[in-house]
Structure 1
């Protein structure tokens, strides 16, 4: 088994296969989108592949150590772009191919008019072997 993180990016503009930005969806369309993701999570729980998931607030900050005791803080999450991570789901699957299948399914969540959203899902494997200083 290998764990993967799927990051849902919301870019504030239409996804490749849907021409309506999310902020213009009807409440029913938003509900259908969320219900799809909940149903996917339930199916992954049943198969033993679900780890965790969470939606994220659009607000955020960049913070870093500066050595002065008062860290710099910048509005975020991405000060230079309109892109933000809207949520994430962690899965534990048998192969990268299975992770890609699940990410593609998540990308097809319904959007405006019930059409698949087709958003890009960032698929990142968890680091399972940390480098050893002796190596």
Structure 2
């Protein structure tokens, strides 16, 4: 088994086939989208492939080390940016192909008008343990 991160990006600018920005969705369309995500996670819990998932708020901040003990903080990310990390799901699957299959299915979550949004998901394997050097 290998863990993969399925990273959801919200694109303020149209980038998916169903390119209506989320802020223009009706409350019912948003509920249907969230229900799809919940049902998808529940199904993967049943197969033992689900690890965790979280949605992220659109506000946040950037922080970096300043060398003086008081890291500067800048508001962001900004919802009006072209690309914003919206959330993620971690799956534990038998193969890369299975991770791709699940990401493709997750990409079909409904959006405006109930149509699949066909969003791009970033699929990243977790970095495994570094090889051990033995002498």
On whether the aligned pair clears a TM of 0.5, the verdict is yes
Contact 1:15 1:117 in 2 (8 A): no
Confirm whether residue 103 of structure 1 aligns to residue 103 of structure 2: yes
Deviations 1:94-128 (A, max 9, x none): 00000000011111100101111011101111111
Contact 2:52 2:89 in 1 (8 A): yes
Structure 2: any 5+ residue segments left out of the alignment?
Answer: none
Partner in structure 1 of residue 120 of structure 2:
120
CA RMSD between the two structures: 2.1
Contact 2:12 2:81 in 1 (8 A): no
Question: Where do residues 75-114 of structure 1 align in structure 2 (5 Å cutoff)?
Answer: 75-77=75-77, 81-114=81-114
Deviations 1:13-47 (A, max 9, x none): 22321131110001110000000000000010000
Confirm whether residue 35 of structure 1 aligns to residue 2 of structure 2: no
Runs of 4+ in structure 1 over 6 Å off: none
Distance 1:4 1:108 in 2: 18
Distance 1:134 1:64 in 2: 37
Task: Label 1:131 to 1:65 Cα distance change in 2 as closer, same or farther (>3 A).
Answer: farther
Contact 1:49 1:93 in 2 (8 A): yes
Structure 1: any 5+ residue segments left out of the alignment?
Answer: none
Task: Label 1:22 to 1:79 Cα distance change in 2 as closer, same or farther (>3 A).
Answer: closer
Q: How many residues align?
A: 135
Q: Secondary structure at the match of 1:66?
A: coil
Contact 1:15 1:118 in 2 (8 A): no
Contact 2:8 2:86 in 1 (8 A): yes
Question: Where do residues 50-61 of structure 1 align in structure 2 (5 Å cutoff)?
Answer: 50-61=50-61
What is the TM-score when the length of structure 2 is the normalising length? Answer: 0.91
